[in-house]
Amino acid sequence: MDATTPSTQDRPELATAPELCVVVPVLNERDNIAPLVDRLRAVLAGIAWEVIFVDDDSTDGTREAVAAIGRQDARVRLLHRIGRRGLSSAFIEGAQASLAPFVAAMDGDLQHDEALLPRMFAALRDDGYEVAVGSRYVAGGGIGAWGRTRAGMSDIATRLSRLILRAPVTDPMSGFFMVRRGTLDAAVRGLSAMGFKILLDLLASLPAPPKLIELPYEFRTRVAGESKLDAGVLRDYLLLLIDKLVGHVVPVRFVLFAGVGVLGIAAHLVMLRLALFVVNFEQAQTFATAVAIIANYTLNNLFTFRDRRLRGRRLVIGLITFSAICSVGAVANVGAAEFLFGQRHAAWWFAGAAGAVMSLVWNYAVSSVITWRK
């Protein structure tokens, strides 16, 4: 050891394995890093802790801010992810990168009240709880300066969560909670890792309802940076619900692809009816088919394959390949239906449905590999 390397006596945090790991997923939160670490140091005094910032390839200097502090304090760690996004998966990777017996999740925007962490820790370590949730909806908690629209959306999401939850929780949308390592391990292989709602994912993935306590806190206003809430958050939340409901039967992406297909059929019929006012049936059918294919392609690119979204020149190439794939699917649809109806004497509705299902499976499987390949 040279003269410039601090010993464990000079830095006692190096000599003690952490009991608590605070996982903080971040994306472009540079100005919030130092204040958050200072707050953690203040409220977690007397607890052996570490914080892991899981950065989804920020472009504003977030990683440099974490590294500057980490060089002075070994409790501050960085996990840099490239090509992956999402709070849920970030928390999972951060938690798995630690050996601490207790793991907390909190946002990097200073909206969660870090003063609640010691109470969560005591509830798990001393009182035998498996999960401690920072709740905005129990007595003493609050949603802060939320507007009516955001509050209403949160209420709807909470009600929808009851479709997959096995135990009553006032705030399953909370991103502020602490869990025992053994409880996390019991759920981790069943986690969907979709979107932002890791607590909901965790509770729905456990084999049995955990011993859970909810502690009140007041949701604070963001100090720096920009909110990550957008339409993609809603999409990911709905995918999480679908995955927990039917993901063990069919892939959730296939369900979304089928839903877009239903919308495409509706668009086809509407365009067909409108076009018949000005052209003959063959021309109207051709026009309606083209519109339906473009509509399906656009919606699938925006929602079904959002994580592989095509842009620029690839967007045009993707439309060409998708149209070709759908054309083959249409031929298979007609052929299968005609075979079942004409030669096997199946009911018309069964033959038609079977052909449609064959076409749907073909379109999904091939477009996943060719049009929206990873």
**Shared-domain flag, residues 210 and 312:** no
**Shared-domain flag, residues 289 and 158:** no
Q: Which helix (H) or strand (E) holds 205?
A: helix 198-205
Specify the pTM.
Answer: 0.73
Strand ranges in the chain using DSSP code E only, listed in sequence order: 20-26, 49-55, 76-80, 102-105, 131-135, 177-180, 212-216
Is 259 within 8 Å of 178 (Cβ atoms)? no
Is 207 within 8 Å of 164 (Cβ atoms)? no
Both ends of the chain: CA-CA distance in Å?
Answer: 46
Average pLDDT, the chain: 83
**Shared-domain flag, residues 299 and 316:** yes
Question: Based on the structure, what is the number of domains in the chain?
Answer: 2
**Shared-domain flag, residues 59 and 84:** yes
Is 7 a domain residue?
Answer: no
Q: For the segment 282-305, what is each residue's pLDDT rounded down to a tens digit?
A: 788 778 878 888 988 999 998 888
Count of H helices and E strands in the chain?
Answer: 12, 7
The domain of 316 spans 252-369
Question: What pLDDT score does 125 carry?
Answer: 94
Question: What pLDDT score does 72 carry?
Answer: 94
**Shared-domain flag, residues 222 and 280:** no
Question: What pLDDT score does 4 carry?
Answer: 46
Question: What pLDDT score does 180 carry?
Answer: 96
**Shared-domain flag, residues 216 and 275:** no
Question: What pLDDT score does 123 carry?
Answer: 96
Question: What pLDDT score does 145 carry?
Answer: 66
Question: What pLDDT score does 11 carry?
Answer: 55
CATH code for the domain of 193: 3.90.550.10
**Shared-domain flag, residues 313 and 215:** no
**Shared-domain flag, residues 301 and 362:** yes
Is 221 within 8 Å of 111 (Cβ atoms)? yes
Q: For the segment 145-172, what is each residue's pLDDT rounded down to a tens digit?
A: 666 776 777 777 777 777 778 777 888 8
Question: What pLDDT score does 101 carry?
Answer: 96
| Residue numbers of the chain with a pLDDT score lower than 50 | 1-9, 12, 228, 230
**Shared-domain flag, residues 211 and 262:** no
Is 139 a domain residue?
Answer: yes
